[in-house]
Structure 1
Amino acid sequence: MNTNKLGNPAVVGLAGFGLTTLLLQFHNLGLIGLGPVVAMGFIFGGLAQMIAGFLEHKMGNNFGFAAFTSYGAFWIGLGIIWILNNAGIYASSHTDVGFYLIGWTLLTLIFWIGSLFIHTAMAITFSTLLLGFILLDLAHFGFPEMTTVAAYVLIVCALAAWYMMAATIINEVSGKQLLKSGKPWIKLN
């Protein structure tokens, strides 16, 4: 019998998701250039998050597997779009990116529904992510001022993801539940 304790891959996935989301919102607010976002989009938001997703699969967590690998692919895909645009290889228009975001909004809707059955911290993270995507969709289709509103909503999303990461790490190392994740918003019995 194997008694080795495995680490929780969600901490890396949540860290990568939160950091890359936060950096993109700093960019959307005009505080930083796109370079750090692209770098983290490939490495931490992309590759590390996908690895976390693959490890969630090994742990038997379908939600974590699907979410982390999906959003890891989102960041890598978005990074590729930006690089191709910058290099003039294949230009994606503002509308093209808008349709890319609509696809991700629809996928996020599915994850949002699933998050309602997990716990409050997860539901808050996915509620703000879904709202952020909707606002970015609007920004790409005629309401550019929504980019700023989306940035603030998605900063909350990033911090909510980091809260879950912090709760997992701090609760484990302290041996106590110091940070609570809350109850599911929907519980079927």
Structure 2
Amino acid sequence: MTAAEPTRASHVAPAAPEEAAPRGAAAFADPAPLGLAAFALTTFVLSMTNAGLFKAEPVVFGLALAYGGIAQMLAGMWEFAKGNTFGATAFTSYGAFWLAFWYLTGHTDLSGVDAKDAGHGVGLFLLAWAIFTAYMFVASLRTNGALIVVFGLLTITFLLLALADLTDTSGLAKAGGWFGVATALAAWYASFAGVLSFTNKRPVLPTGAR
């Protein structure tokens, strides 16, 4: 894989249950809808490419840096300020994922690396994220139904994309792309539910709150 070749990946990052907020945290709006939206949009565009429906790699790079990366990292920092460990860990981690993706695909010279070895390296990168996402999925079981769906789909997405690169199987990459699209739609739904709850001053869309 050269620097010009896109990396198979799809994703990005999720929200969290509210924890006891520290004194003074009331000044912060809920950052979860922003983090979920940043994750969803960036994941959607890349996943449509992975699924073979579009050729939009150059567009993904800008999104990975500005929206999936920086905006999601900021959401994670605001979750730290609110005292929400789950949200802070999720948004900051997946924001960092997108920044790493942006650097790897657009700014890393892999021309001197054997293409098969480079592909397997990317597969290991994605497998590590699948492991992280799997334990975040377990933690999400104490949040709400919407987030459980997001993390469950995201775990499958990472695993399929990792196996695609480790085994050089294009069919798995396309399957990962479709699961990535589903993940993005689920995250958009969770983000939309959060925004509507604020503007209407009451829950509007069901999220399977526990």
Pick closer, same or farther for the CA change 1:103–1:172 going to 2, 3 Å: same
Unaligned segments of structure 1, at least 5 residues: 185-189
C-alpha change, 1:39 and 1:59, in structure 2 (3 Å) is same
- Structure 2 partner of 1:119: 144
Secondary structure of the 2:41 match is helix
**Cα deviation, residue 6, structure 1:** 2.5
* Contact in 1 for aligned 2:193/2:205 (Cα 8 Å): yes
Relative to 1, partners in 2 of residues 1:27 and 1:4: Cα closer, same or farther, differing over 3 Å? Answer: same
Runs of 4 or more consecutive aligned structure 1 residues displaced over 2 Å after TM superposition: 1-6, 87-92
User: Per-residue deviation at 1:84?
Assistant: 3.0
Contact in 2 for aligned 1:84/1:90 (Cα 8 Å): no
Residue of structure 2 equivalent to 1:22: 44
RMSD: 1.9
Letter in 2 for 1:10: A
State the 1:144 CA deviation.
2.2
Counterpart Cα distance in 2 of 1:158 and 1:73: 18
Of 111-120 and 172-181, deviating more is: 172-181
Correspondence 1:99 to 2:99: no
Q: Which has the higher contact order (CA 8 A, sep 6+)?
A: 2
Q: How many angstroms does 1:151 deviate by? A: 1.0
Q: Quote the sequence identity (%).
A: 32
Describe the SS at the equivalent of 2:170.
Answer: coil
Q: Tell me which residue corresponds to 2:6.
A: none
Q: Kindly tell me the number of residue pairs found equivalent between the two proteins.
A: 183
Q: Distance in 2 between matches of 1:84 and 1:173?
A: 40
181, 189, 196: which is aligned to 1:163?
Answer: 189
Is 1:141 aligned to 2:166, yes or no?
yes
TM-score, structure 1 as length reference: 0.90
Once the 2 structures are TM-superposed, how far is the Cα of residue 2 of structure 1 from its aligned partner?
6.3
